[in-house]
């Protein structure tokens, strides 16, 4: 394999021998990382490999115990993100740090050192518009953050970094939350930034993207660098192997199983979104036992509201929900859980877990009232700890122990923790929203396998995902949602990408002529 050689004068970032420890783990174990001026550099590795930690060190959030950082050849010591920004390093975190009640402009200038009386919002607006124009970032400066889609918020974060003069831009899993169209736009922005001499470092688990957009790739495994390669020299399979340390097979066996009886029936669901606008406009469908029904669609078309409505977290304006023939339309979430419904929520931080609780507590969140965990008011901690240890092993959650707080887990490991809890309860119905988001290749495969196993065991599964490959690979039937309505339904074995794509953009199935769509 070609190890990449770099000229000293081309180097924008050099991190030398970085060591960063947390209680019980060495997140970065003598990591040396080099990024060139004008390159797009991908940082790859399994969940918990130390990617976010390394970039948080570069962005001044963590002080390393050992090692040195050089920016454009000058040695730096960062005591805070502010120091890093001063040196030209900006970071867009996976969880945005914008204030929802402020406008785009206000967020961009927020926290700048300039004294208040000097702050000229009009000037700022002009500067923001110029940056937006220069880098092809579509934004509305006077919009409020709460009005923006996730993709738009990300653009605000990028502008914020550019506004502060970032020459080196770090993005932590930027595409995990984007629609395919937004991803295309982001990549075009990143390319134009690199062409203007910026250095882009981005973390991703999507290997197709990594090979498509990056110039070079650094691979971490268990806190250490295992390879630095030119992207053009490697395949997706090779990258996966470097990450995991053994060959990874990108194939899934989907066993033949006959669908059983109807488990979920949704009839004419109507619900509002958080802004009080119609999000579901008459959604009807069923899911049977032994069946995975996929919901394909660009995010923001009612998927989150659908998942919440089914789980009793969002009131319906109209419509009925039946579980195993029983009307659960107005049932509270606690009752819905008791009836055997599991949910993998969209937001693993806000809904899926409690950061300040430890892993064991998070694993029993949903069923601590029931035997064998508790009898009457008494919780059997011995049982809980054994249960937690077993699940953490089975789901390969990488953490120092069951008493680690959930908020200290890496993104992917938190997702695994939630899956462990939800899938271990032998659910009758699983509502899984983006179940593999943020997971590394290995974990993604095992979660998909788990869902198929649950299907074999008889669970009814509603799989809500933007990843069309995932939906097509796992589902028995595919529904396409657009602006709160189901555009059509196709059996997975006769699914046509083109047809689904057109429905995702708002075409109704009955208006599509199959032969035309194939030719299109």
Ligand X SMILES: Nc1ncnc2c1ncn2[C@@H]1O[C@H](COP(=O)(O)OP(=O)(O)OP(=O)(O)O)[C@@H](O)[C@H]1O
Piece in contact with ligand X (CB under 6 A), picked from 33-41, 103-111, 410-418, 512-520: 410-418
CA distances from 473 to 223, 252, 321, 434, 470 (A): 32, 8, 27, 14, 5
Piece in contact with Mg ion (CB under 5 A), picked from 49-57, 79-87, 174-182, 453-461: 49-57
Q: Within the chain, how many helices (H) and strands (E) appear?
A: 17, 22
Q: Is 412 in the site for ligand X (CB under 6 A)?
A: yes
**Residue 88 binding partner per list Mg ion, ligand X, none, with a CB distance cut-off of 5 to 8 Å that depends on partner kind:** none
Least separation in angstroms between CB 18 and Mg ion: 16
- How far is Cα 463 from Cα 181, in angstroms, rounded to an integer? 21
Least separation in angstroms between CB 403 and ligand X: 12
Piece in contact with ligand X (CB under 6 A), picked from 75-83, 267-275, 409-417, 499-507: 409-417
Binding mask 4-23 for ligand X (x = CB under 6 A): ------------------x-
Least separation in angstroms between CB 159 and ligand X: 24
Piece in contact with Mg ion (CB under 5 A), picked from 153-161, 241-249, 330-338, 402-410: 402-410
> Where would I find the beta strands (DSSP E) of 163-301?
168-172, 199-203, 216-221, 224-230, 262-272, 278-288, 291-296
**For residue 484, is it left (φ>0), alpha (ψ between -120 and 50) or beta?**
left
Q: Is 27 in the site for ligand X (CB under 6 A)?
A: yes
- Interstrand relation of 341-344 and 66-71 (parallel, antiparallel or unpaired): unpaired
Q: Which is nearer to Mg ion, 56 or 465 (CB)?
A: 56
Least separation in angstroms between CB 398 and ligand X: 5
- How far is Cα 115 from Cα 446, in angstroms, rounded to an integer? 53
Q: Is 259 in the site for ligand X (CB under 6 A)?
A: no
Q: Is 199 in the site for ligand X (CB under 6 A)?
A: no
Q: Is 411 in the site for Mg ion (CB under 5 A)?
A: yes
Q: Is 362 in the site for ligand X (CB under 6 A)?
A: no
Q: What is the DSSP letter of 455?
A: H
Q: 3-state class of 442 per DSSP?
A: helix
Compute φ and ψ for 48, nearest 5 degrees.
Answer: 85, 5
Least separation in angstroms between CB 400 and ligand X: 7
Q: Which is nearer to ligand X, 48 or 427 (CB)?
A: 48
**Size of the residue set binding Mg ion (CB under 5 A):** 3
Apex 147 CA angle, 481 and 434, nearest 5:
40
Least separation in angstroms between CB 349 and ligand X: 12
Q: What DSSP line would sit under 54-93, residue for residue?
A: HHHHHTTSS--SEEEEEETTEEE--SSHHHHHHTTEEEE-
Q: Are 33 and 41 in contact (CB under 8 A)?
A: no
- How far is Cα 14 from Cα 68, in angstroms, rounded to an integer? 8
From the list 374, 369, 373, the residue with the least C-alpha distance to 391 is: 373
**Size of the residue set binding ligand X (CB under 6 A):** 19
Q: Which is nearer to ligand X, 67 or 340 (CB)?
A: 67
Q: Are 167 and 183 in contact (CB under 8 A)?
A: no
Residue closest to Mg ion when measured from CB atoms: 52
Q: Which is nearer to ligand X, 50 or 297 (CB)?
A: 50
Q: Which is nearer to ligand X, 93 or 338 (CB)?
A: 93
**Residue 484 binding partner per list Mg ion, ligand X, none, with a CB distance cut-off of 5 to 8 Å that depends on partner kind:** none
Q: Is 52 in the site for ligand X (CB under 6 A)?
A: yes
Among 60, 141, 411, 435, contact with ligand X (rule: CB under 6 A): 411
Q: Is 52 in the site for Mg ion (CB under 5 A)?
A: yes
Apex 178 CA angle, 194 and 503, nearest 5:
125
List binders of ligand X among 32-51 (CB under 6 A): 45, 47-51
Dig out the tokens for 314 from the structure: 């969002």
Q: Is 45 in the site for Mg ion (CB under 5 A)?
A: no
- How far is Cα 298 from Cα 180, in angstroms, rounded to an integer? 8
Q: Write out the H or E segment, with its range, that includes residue 470.
A: helix 468-474
From the list 165, 122, 126, 156, the residue with the least C-alpha distance to 138 is: 156
Q: Is 53 in the site for ligand X (CB under 6 A)?
A: yes
Among 175, 410, 437, 465, contact with ligand X (rule: CB under 6 A): 410
Q: Is 299 in the site for ligand X (CB under 6 A)?
A: no
Q: Which is nearer to ligand X, 132 or 240 (CB)?
A: 240
Least separation in angstroms between CB 237 and ligand X: 19
Q: Which is nearer to ligand X, 24 or 506 (CB)?
A: 24
Q: 3-state class of 490 per DSSP?
A: strand
- How far is Cα 483 from Cα 485, in angstroms, rounded to an integer? 6
From the list 507, 475, 7, the residue with the least C-alpha distance to 254 is: 475
Q: Is 294 in the site for Mg ion (CB under 5 A)?
A: no
Half-sphere exposure in the Cβ direction for 312 (13 Å, CA): 17
Dig out the tokens for 391 from the structure: 């699940």
Q: Is 302 in the site for ligand X (CB under 6 A)?
A: no
**Residue 174 binding partner per list Mg ion, ligand X, none, with a CB distance cut-off of 5 to 8 Å that depends on partner kind:** none
Interface ranges with Mg ion (CB under 5 A): 52, 410-411
Interface ranges with ligand X (CB under 6 A): 22, 25, 27, 45, 47-53, 398-399, 408-413
């Amino acid at each position: 394999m070609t190890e990449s050689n770099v000229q000293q004068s081309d180097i924008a970032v050099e991190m030398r021998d970085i060591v960063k420890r947390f209680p019980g783990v060495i997140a970065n174990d003598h990591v040396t990382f080099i990024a060139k001026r004008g390159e797009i550099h991908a940082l790859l590795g399994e969940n918990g490999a130390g990617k976010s930690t390394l970039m948080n060190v570069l962005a001044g959030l963590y002080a390393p115990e050992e090692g040195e950082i050089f920016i454009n050849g000058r040695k730096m010591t960062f005591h805070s993100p502010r120091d890093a920004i001063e040196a030209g390093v900006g970071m867009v975190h996976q969880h945005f740090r914008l204030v929802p009640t402020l406008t785009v402009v206000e967020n961009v200038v927020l926290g700048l050192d300039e004294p208040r009386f000097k702050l000229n919002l009009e000037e700022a607006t002009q500067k923001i518009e110029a940056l937006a124009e220069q880098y092809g970032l579509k934004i509305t400066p006077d919009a409020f953050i709460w009005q923006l889609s996730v993709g738009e918020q990300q653009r605000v974060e990028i502008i914020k970094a550019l506004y502060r003069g970032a020459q080196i831009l770090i993005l932590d899993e930027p595409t995990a939350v984007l629609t395919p169209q937004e991803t295309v736009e982001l990549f075009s922005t990143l390319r134009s930034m690199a062409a203007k001499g910026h250095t882009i470092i981005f973390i991703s688990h999507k290997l197709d993207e990594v090979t498509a957009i990056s110039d070079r790739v650094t691979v971490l495994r268990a806190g250490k660098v295992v390879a630095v390669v030119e992207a053009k020299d490697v395949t997706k399979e090779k990258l996966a192997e470097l990450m995991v340390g053994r060959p990874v097979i990108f194939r899934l066996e989907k066993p033949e199983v006959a669908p059983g009886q109807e488990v979920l029936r949704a009839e004419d669901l109507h619900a509002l979104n958080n802004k009080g606008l119609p999000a579901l406009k008459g959604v009807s469908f069923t899911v049977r036992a032994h069946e995975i029904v996929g919901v394909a669609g660009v995010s923001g078309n009612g998927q989150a509201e659908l998942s919440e409505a089914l789980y009793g977290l969002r009131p319906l304006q109209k419509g009925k929900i039946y579980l195993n023939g029983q009307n659960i339309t107005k049932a509270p979430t606690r009752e819905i859980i008791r009836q055997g419904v599991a949910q993998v929520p969209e937001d693993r931080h806000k809904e899926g877990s409690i950061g300040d609780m430890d892993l064991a507590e998070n694993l029993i969140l949903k069923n601590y009232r029931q035997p064998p965990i508790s009898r009457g008011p008494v919780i059997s901690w011995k049982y809980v700890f054994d249960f937690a240890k077993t699940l953490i092993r089975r789901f390969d959650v990488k953490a120092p122990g069951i008493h680690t707080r959930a908020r200290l887990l890496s993104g992917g490991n938190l997702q695994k923790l939630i899956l462990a809890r939800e899938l271990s309860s032998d659910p009758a119905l699983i509502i899984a929203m983006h179940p593999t988001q943020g997971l590394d290749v290995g974990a993604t495969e095992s979660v998909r396998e788990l869902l198929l196993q649950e299907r074999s065991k008889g669970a009814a599964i509603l799989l809500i995902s933007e990843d069309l490959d995932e939906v097509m690979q796992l589902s028995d039937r595919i529904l396409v949602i657009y602006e709160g309505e189901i555009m059509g339904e196709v059996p997975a074995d006769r699914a046509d990408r083109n047809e689904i794509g057109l429905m995702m953009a708002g075409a109704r199935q009955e208006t599509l002529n199959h032969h035309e769509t194939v030719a299109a």
